[in-house]
Structure 1
Amino acid sequence: MTTFRVFIATSLDGFIARPDGRLDWLPGATPDGVPAPAGEDHGFLAFMAGVEVVVMGRVTFETVRAFRPWPYAGKRLVVLSGTLTAADVPEELREGVVVHAGPVERLAAELREQGVGGVYVDGGQTVRAFLRAGLLDELTVTRVPVLLGEGLPLFGPLDGDVWWAHQRTQAFGSGLVQDSYRVRRE
């Protein structure tokens, strides 16, 4: 069964990036940003162990494609974009990265037909598109103890309420607090 999962960090005031998309406030996200606490990956490796495919939008891909080491090694990565082409993908990533024009409903159907199990949905616009389409199954949000004041929000307008069942909360020594939820389907 295909499960669409989100694993994302926000500031205390709900932003996933600065207004210009920078992630310098996120521990370990950029070489010149806040250093990640030694020995704490905040559950990312365990989460990735259950992921076969990563789906993200063009904006997120343009932010992460220079990350080294590549955080998605060994996973197929699908970039949702109507403008990006395979030629825009860096040469060293082309083997594991494909571009899909969408919409998310079509991509989800294709992944289900392929028998894909865990799908990691990443990036604000992509998370919101999957959420609006009613496709998300699990949501893990890690709050970083910083107020940005402004930025790109994780959530946006919806056609109706989406209820979630709380699974667990974990506090880390670094001050980060992580909440995990499963969607409630009536």
Structure 2
Amino acid sequence: MRKLTFAMNLSLDGYIAAPGDDLGWSVPSDELFQWWSDRVAATGLALYGRKLWQTMSSHWPTADRQPGATPAEIEYARRWRAMPKVVFSSTVSTVGWNTRLVTGDAVAEITRLKAEDAGPMDIGGATLAGAAMRAGLIDEYLLVTAPVLVGGGTPFFTALDNWVNLTLVETRTFPGGLILTRYETRRV
């Protein structure tokens, strides 16, 4: 059975994007960028909601061919293109770069994917992750918290009907005061 992790950068007040989908506050240090790149290399399958897919696919497919691309950006772009991906959307019509599109029931498809005997999955995008959260499908929450208050925007967590008990399994500090916290879901 695959493990499903919800991993994102977020502000101290709990948002993955500020109002207007502003991500300017979340530019990673070189060390954190390398950590995210290594995570992409180790991901068996990435699950994207529409908005995050549009953000990622507007940049990373050609980022390694842009003037001034750093070696780390070149490596990340190659890893991102190679990583198997699934996009969940009823409005996106085409996807590329080792990606398939799912237009039907996201929770049913994520449940099916979790039952496979394969590598770990990461889920990204507030709406998609929120549906998986409410369905009890997320096994691990990985938060990289930036020391900034953005006051609103897209929240990392969704409203839940039931408590989710978690166990802290890792912490790490990155330059600029960013703190990684990783929690595993405690199944009762």
2:88 is matched with which residue?
80
Aligned to 1:165: 167
8 A Cα contact 1:42 1:172, kept in partner: no
1-structure distance, mates of 2:115, 2:173: 37
1:184 is matched with which residue? Answer: 186
Q: Within 2, Cα distance between the matches of 1:59 and 1:117?
A: 24
Over residues 20-43 of structure 1, what are the superposed CA-to-partner deviations in whole Å (9 max), with x where a residue is unaligned?
A: 22212111xxxxxxxx42344363
Per-residue CA deviation, residues 112-134 of structure 1 (Å, 9 max, x unaligned), is 45533211101111111110011
Change (3 A) 1:112 1:178: closer
Secondary structure, aligned partner of 2:141 = strand
Q: Output aligned runs, 1:15-34, within 5 Å.
A: 15-27=15-27
Q: How has the CA–CA distance of structure 1 residues 78 and 17 changed in structure 2, closer, same or farther, with 3 Å as cutoff?
A: same
Q: How many residues align?
A: 172
Using the size of structure 1 for normalisation, the TM-score is: 0.84
Do structure 1's residue 130 and structure 2's residue 132 form an aligned pair? Answer: yes
* Aligned counterparts of 2:172 and 2:115: Cα–Cα separation in 1: 34
Aligned to 2:177, the other structure's residue is in SS state: coil
Give me the whole-angstrom Cα distance separating, in 2, the residues matched to 1:19 and 1:57: 18
CA contact under 8 A between 2:31 and 2:175: conserved in structure 1? no
- Unpaired segments of 5 or more residues in structure 2? 64-76
Q: RMSD value over aligned CA atoms?
A: 1.8
- Tell me the TM-score normalised to structure 2 length: 0.83
Cα distance in structure 2, aligned partners of 1:113 and 1:74:
23
Contact 1:139-1:181 at 8 Å conserved across structures: yes
| Partner residue in 2 for 1:9 | 9
Task: Please identify which structure carries the higher helix content.
Answer: 2
Equivalents in 2 of 1:38, 1:95: separation in Å?
25
SS at 1:177 equivalent: strand
| 1:64 paired residue number | 56
Stretch deviating more after TM superposition (100-109 or 138-147) = 100-109
| Structure 1 residue runs without a partner (length 5+) | 28-35
Determine if contact 2:82/2:97 at 8 Å carries over to the other structure: no
